[in-house]
Amino acid sequence: MEKTSIRRSMAVLTSDYYATPKTSLMTFHFEPERFNTSYNRLKEGAVSHGTIEGKDFYIWDQFFQENERDELRDLFGNAHYSRFSYGSPESIEQGQKPAKSMNNAERWAFFAKSSPALEELNKLFSTFAHEMDADLMTLPWELCHGITGSPSVIANYHEEVTKESLHLGKHQDCSPSTGIHFGIPKLYAENELHGRQFENGTSGNPWMISMMLYSTSSNFLPEYKMGTVFFDSKDELKLQVACNHARLILFEGDIHHSADASEIPPDTKVWRTSYVFKLIMNPKRANQNLKQDFQKWLTSLSPNVTELSLPLFV
Ligand SMILES: [Fe+2]
C-alpha cells in the first residue's frame, strides 16, 4: 500500500486555558506530496462549494471507490466508542442523550491503524499540502479545559440525535478571530509564532479547516437526517448536510455547527459516524492566501464545481 509520511511535532500553549494534565500538544503534519490517486479523484469527481458569511465549505460525494466504501462501513461500524460526548457541561445537567465517541486509547489506535480507505484521506491531505505549498497540520491531539476536551482527530457515533442535543451541541471547532490558545509557527519568520488572534485564512495567516467523513449503517436513509447543521453568526440555519455514507465535507472550522436531529422510524435501528480532522493549513510565504488559493486550485482542477446558494438541504 502506497503510504503518506506523517511527521509529529509538539505545539506550545500560549495561555493557561488548556494547561491541564489531560491536554496533549502533539500535532501531526501531512508531508507535502502529490499523489496521483488523490489528484485524479478530485479531478474526476464532482465537488460542491458554498459560503456562509464568506466562510467556505466543500462537499465531495464520490471520492471513495466501492471497495473502500464497504471498508469504511466495516471500520466505523466495528470501532470502539467507550467515551460519551456532550455538547457542554450544562447539557449533561439537562439530561442530554450523549453521542458515543472514542476515548484517548481508542482514537489513538484508530488513527495509527493503517487501512487503504483511510490512507486515501491521508494522501488527500498530503496532496493538499503539496498543491498549496503549505504545511498541513492537525490541531493539538487534545485540548482539555475542566471536564471537557477538544480532540483534533475524533470519530463520533450516533444512533439518535434529539432536537435538544442539536441545540445544546452548537459549537465552532476553532475561533481564531476571538483567539487560539496554542502557538502556530510562522513559517516565513525565524522562531516566531502567528498571533493569537487572526482572521481565518487571510493573506499570510493560517487557514483553520475541518474535514469530516461520514459513514452510516447499510440500512440508513438520508431522510433519517443526523447529518450536520451549519449556522451563521446570528444563529440562523444556513446549511443542512445529509450524512450520506462516505461523503466528505471540508469547512472553515469557525463556522457554527451541530449534529442534526434525527427522524428515524420507531422500530428502525441505524447508526452514523462522523470522523473529523481539525486542521491548520499554514502558509510558507507572507503573501500567500491559502483560502483563495485553495478555491482557485480546485476550480481549475475540476470542471464540476457546483456553486451552492443558501439556505439549503444537501
Ligand atoms: Fe465540530
For 242-253, what is each residue's pLDDT tens digit?
Answer: 999 999 999 999
- Name the residue range of residue 279's domain: 6-313
More confident position, 278 or 92: 278
Q: What is the mean pLDDT of residues 86-104?
A: 73
Q: Inform me whether the pLDDT recorded for 95 exceeds 80.
A: no
Say whether pLDDT at 194 is over 70: yes
From ligand 1's centre to the CA of 143, what distance in Å?
Answer: 14
Q: How far is the CA of 276 from the centre of ligand 1 (A)?
A: 8
Instruction: Summarize pLDDT for 204-224 with one digit per residue, the tens.
Output: 999 999 999 999 999 999 999
Q: Is 82 inside any structural domain? A: yes
Domain-located, residue 154 = yes
Ligand 1: centre distance to CA 171 (Å): 6
Reported as a pLDDT band with limits 50, 70 and 90, residue 91 is: low
Ligand 1 centroid, distance to 209 Cα (angstroms): 10
- Cα(70) to ligand 1 centroid in Å equals 25
Distance (Å) from CA 161 to ligand 1 centroid: 15
Q: What is the pLDDT of residue 96?
A: 64
Q: Give a yes or no: residue 120 inside a domain.
A: yes
46 domain-assigned: yes
**Residue 261 placed within a domain:** yes
Cα 139 to middle of ligand 1, angstroms: 13
38 lies in a domain?
A: yes
Residue 1 falls within a domain, yes or no?
Answer: no
Tell how far the Cα of 1 is from the centroid of ligand 1, in angstroms.
31
* Among the listed residues 127, 120, 14, 20, the one whose alpha carbon sits nearest the alpha carbon of residue 75: 120
Distance 16 CA to ligand 1 centre (A): 23
172 CA distance to ligand 1 middle (Å): 6
- Whether pLDDT at 233 is above 80: yes
Residue 88, pLDDT score:
60
Please indicate whether residue 4 or residue 114 has the higher confidence score (pLDDT). Answer: 4
Which of 165-169, 188-192, 310-314 has the weakest average pLDDT? 310-314
Separation of CA 210 and ligand 1 centre (Å): 8
Q: How far is the CA of 36 from the centre of ligand 1 (A)?
A: 30
- The single residue listed with the C-alpha cell 478555491 is 295
Query: How buried is 127 (Cβ within 10 angstroms: 0-12 exposed, 13-18 middle, 19+ buried)?
Result: buried
Band of pLDDT at residue 90, cut at 50, 70 and 90 = low
Query: Rounded mean pLDDT of 159-165?
Result: 90
pLDDT digits (tens, 9 = 90+) for 168-183: 889 999 999 999 999 9
Give distance in angstroms: CA of 280 to centre of ligand 1: 15
Q: Is the pLDDT of residue 9 over 90?
A: yes
In whole angstroms, give the CA distance from residue 251 to residue 55: 8
Q: How many CB atoms lie within 10 A of CB 214?
A: 23
CA of 173 to the centre of ligand 1 (A): 5
Residue 94, domain CATH? 2.60.120
Q: Ligand 1 centroid to 255 CA: how many Å?
A: 9
- Ligand 1: centre distance to CA 192 (Å): 29
Strand partners, 275: 155, 213
Residue ranges of E strands in the chain: 6-10, 26-30, 47-52, 55-60, 83-85, 99-101, 134-138, 142-145, 148-151, 153-158, 207-216, 228-231, 237-241, 248-252, 256-259, 272-283, 305-307, 312-313
The total number of structural domains in the chain stands at 1
- How many angstroms is it from 189 CA to the middle of ligand 1? 31
- Tell whether 53 is covered by a domain: yes
pLDDT band for position 164 (cuts 50, 70, 90)? confident
Task: Please give the distance, rounded to the nearest whole angstrom, from the Cα atom of residue 129 to the centre of ligand 1.
Answer: 22
Task: Evaluate whether 208 touches 170 at the Cβ level (below 8 Å).
Answer: no
The pLDDT of residue 89 is 63
Q: Tell me how far the alpha carbon of residue 10 lies from the centroid of ligand 1, in angstroms.
A: 23
Mean pLDDT of the residues in the chain: 93
CA 211 – ligand 1 centroid, Å: 10
Distance from the alpha carbon of residue 191 to the mean position of ligand 1, in angstroms: 31
Residue 228 Cα, ligand 1 centroid: separation in angstroms?
Answer: 9
Higher pLDDT, 117 or 149: 117
